[in-house]
Amino acid sequence: MSLNRSIREEFPLLVSNDVAYLDNAATAQRPACVLDEIRRFYENANANPLRGLYALSVEATSEYESARVAVQQLLNAAHPEEIVFTRNTTEAINLVAYSYGLNKVKQGDNITISIMEHHSNMLPWQMVAGKTGATLTYLECEKDGALTEDAIRNNIPDNTKIVAITHVSNVLGRTTPVETVVARAKEVGAVVLLDAAQSVAHMRVDVQKLGVDFLAFSGHKMMGPMGIGALYGKRELLEEMPPFLTGGEMIEYVTRTGATYAELPHKFEAGTVNAAGAVGLHAAIDFVNRIGYENMEERELLLTRLALDGIKDIPHVHVLGSEDPHEHCGIINFTIDGVHPHDVSQILDSDNVAVRAGHHCAQPLLAYLGVRSTTRASIMFYNTEEEIQRFLKSVSTVRERMGYSE
């Protein structure tokens, strides 16, 4: 797929700034259609959804629930009520940890997560294990991010109640063999939560095919607004779970001594909802459907291969993970001998190349890999070959600009 220039021009920030934006794993850019839909909602349908019987509120409710259906269809969930809107992946995972984990896990049980988890899918389970007395087991990957069948089987013991695992590592870019993890979890009667923050923006995700019980993602990583995300949960599990937050709009009625909670999914959406964010997410989903995941994957693979092939030829640069571009999902994490990643990032920024530096909210994984921090370039389909070449040229000058002679 050659980059369609008209697609590139749909991103206002990319058009107006001469920056090679390679921090897409942190947040993606927004196309004009997403920005336009948010503005349209506030100008034409701005009312509190679910609370009024007048026309504006009915329209706001309709648009909010239409966005829920769009997410359901994106993930191929069985029912719209299996989709709960949250602020982001982090909130969605915490919802499951507090509402399901604290109520279903007890002393003597096991929770398994992988060493590759973002802190957002690690700290909630540390909390659950600490409060319940359960054991927290870490599923360790190979140095390139691969999870072997033996490792999966050996680290999901028979007393496991929850397996919480990333779909795509935000450090290594490696895709987890979800079906293998789910198969083992089902053998022991455990539920599986999938952190799809790094996958939904780059590949088709089918919750029924994968067989996961919960899935969380953030809208802003797939070109939607910040402050909107979603939790998928199997209906029978969500129905058993108590609300995570309580307050307005998540109740049927309230007395002085108690309350009856609303039906799914509203019992998990307390307070005034982010209707404009949901509308913007709907627009982002429509945009992804228009471009097509197959075209996005093909384009990102081409750019990833170009970047990996080029960076191999630069002395003193070391890439984390596999040498195969198919196993990076657009994420290239690297170190440069003798140069701190923060310095690398600042040098690249002086060349108008935006990358991420630090521990990427994955300190246990970096410690496991033997590094403290790295520089990460992450690619989206709207990036160009010229931007990759600019990135490679800038990386090739880092050591010289830091005073090294060779």
Distance between CA atoms of 238 and 405, rounded to whole angstroms? Answer: 61
361 assigned to active site: yes
> CB count, 10 Å around CB of 151?
15
Instruction: Name the residue among 298, 362, 359 with its Cα closest to residue 330.
Output: 298
Catalytic entry in 33, 141, 329, 361: 361
Distance between CA atoms of 148 and 150, rounded to whole angstroms? Answer: 5
Distance between CA atoms of 245 and 87, rounded to whole angstroms? Answer: 13
Instruction: Name the residue among 198, 196, 194 with its Cα closest to residue 213.
Output: 194
Strands 83-86 and 229-233, by their bridges, are: antiparallel
Residue bearing tokens 């945009």: 287
Among all residues, which ones are annotated catalytic? Answer: 361
